[in-house]
Amino acid sequence: MNTDIVFEMTSHSTEKENTAIIILGASGDLAFKKTYPALFGLFKNDFLPKSCQIIGYARSEIKLDEFKKRITSKIKVSDEDKAVLERFLEICTYCSGSYDKKESFQNLDKFVTNLEGEDDRKKNRIFYMALPPTVFISASEGLKENVYSKKGDNRLIVEKPFGKDFDSSRVLSRALSKHWKEDEIYRIDHYLGKEMVKNLMMLRFGNVIFGAVWNRYYISNVQITFKEVIGTEGRGGYFNEFGIIRDIMQNHLFQILSIVAMGRPVTLDAEDVRNEKVKVLRSIKPLSIDDVLLGQYTRSADGKNKGYKDDEGVPQDSYTATFAAAVFNIANERWDGVPFILKCGKALDEAKAEDVPGSIYPGLARNELVIRIQPKEAVYMKVMNKEPGLSNAAVISELDLSYTDRYSLSRIPDAYESLILDVLKGEKSNFVRDDELDAAWKIFTPVLHQIEKEKIKPELYEFGSRGPASLSRWIENHGYKRTHGYQWKSTKL
């Protein structure tokens, strides 16, 4: 019987080293919502280097007290943690300057050097560019020419988006490679830091039972789903420039696809792992418009939630998709003929259920292995079971590993915590390599250009619905049917 796979979405330094973490764009939303809370989490759990300084850098002239107040606004602490937060703030400083002026970066270098001190310790510098793409190139050049440490290791963290298509991505990659070596660049996709995504390698290659059936002979199709219950909510102007395919599918979901589909790496070394991911991506032909379903949300049925075009900055004639489903086929021996169905969207509902035909027992559903990435992390297998009693009625049940139940005493770190720790350790397997980026953009660029050139209109769907009305039929046409009436007991999906 075929099975479906459905995705739902220690300090390592010594006292002889000094590490400076420079956050560029420190006054922006990403920095105070994600970066600083992640750094505090590492500090609290004693994962930051012993001699560490965190320097915020941005164009805004902000007094240090006001800056510290801002960066702690999204850090949740208990009464017991308040003293820890105060110690964390002691290593946080701020320096203002431009992203395209040599003098500003020279001033930043003096600022960092003064914090490092005049001693013989190794001076490591980590540059986190929490910046808009428009200043990536100038900032990376300014850092290399003026702030690059000559007495230690240098690492550059680059946030997505990595371009808008293949050509713009190559321009960015070439500009970075002019000044930085590939092994110094860490392209961060925070989905690669999520616990369940990092667990995929262990699940696949650490369990013989899965390794034996992880191929086209036993797996009917793979679904990778990302659902948000919120809309763009004030980010409509930014989102309108990129759309859901660039924002979610081309990076987050494709990273998951590559890990699910990759062959077994020779070792767990970063280069061996990423080599296998690139092989998979190069086996996927460019996406066709016939294999894509686009949607855009409107007001909710009760009128309480605004539609996408009601968001500030969104043109009334916008055809930008807020929902997308696409099917991919991997032309290799392991996966030939198995559709990989990717779905992502905003302003959706939370309910989810599935149905596929069975075997010698009439009306049975196919088995499904579900890896729930967020929220409420879990791995569970949907299986057919005889209902207890005198009848022979079959019911869907599950073999369930819910993390909240099994690992109730364990803390699952934020994805950014995990990835920043990887940077500190020099571990690159959870970051995107340049050729991996090229291979992914080659798959998506033709259809993205076609959508924009022909101004293909997305199907409208109400805020809070499952998405476009044609979604179920579209998915069935690609080999998957939903099982109505089944709901996983551990959470409301």
Chain-centroid distance, C-alpha 468: 24
Respond yes or no: is residue 190 known to be catalytic: no
Q: What's the chain look like in SS3?
A: CCEEEEEECCCCCCCCEEEEEEEECCCCHHHHHHHHHHHHHHHHCCCCCCCEEEEEEECCCCCHHHHHHHHCCCCCCCHHHHHHHHHHHHCEEEEECCCCCHHHHHHHHHHHHHHHCCCCCEEEEEEEECCCHHHHHHHHHHHHHHCCCCCCCEEEEEECCCCCCHHHHHHHHHHHHHHCCHHHEEEECHHHHCHHHHHHHHHHHCCHHHHHHCCCCCEEEEEEEEECCCCCCCCHHHHHHHHHHHHHHHHHHHHHHHHHHCCCCCCCCHHHHHHHHHHHHCCECCCCHHHEEEEEEECCCCCCCCCHHHCCCCCCCCCCCCEEEEEEEECCCCCCCCEEEEEEECCECCCCCCCCCCCCCCCCCCEEEEEECCCCCEEEEEEEEECCCCCCCEEEEEEEEEHHHHCCCCCCCCHHHHHHHHHHHCCCCCCECHHHHHHHHHHHHHHHHHHHHHCCCCEEEECCECCCCCHHHHHHHCCCCCCCCCCCCCCCC
Q: Report the C-alpha gap between 354 and 443 in whole angstroms.
A: 28
Q: Report the C-alpha gap between 157 and 250 in whole angstroms.
A: 19
Token pair of 253 as six digits? 């979901």
- 179, 252, 478, 484: which is the annotated catalytic residue? 252
One-letter amino acid of 3: T
Q: In sequence order, what are the residues at sequence separation of 6 or more whose Cβ sits closer than 8 angstroms to the Cβ of residue 438? A: 166, 169, 170, 173
Report how far apart the first and last C-alpha atoms of the chain are (Å, whole number).
Answer: 26
The greatest distance separating any two alpha carbons of the chain, rounded to the nearest whole angstrom, comes to 83
Q: Which residues are catalytic?
A: 252
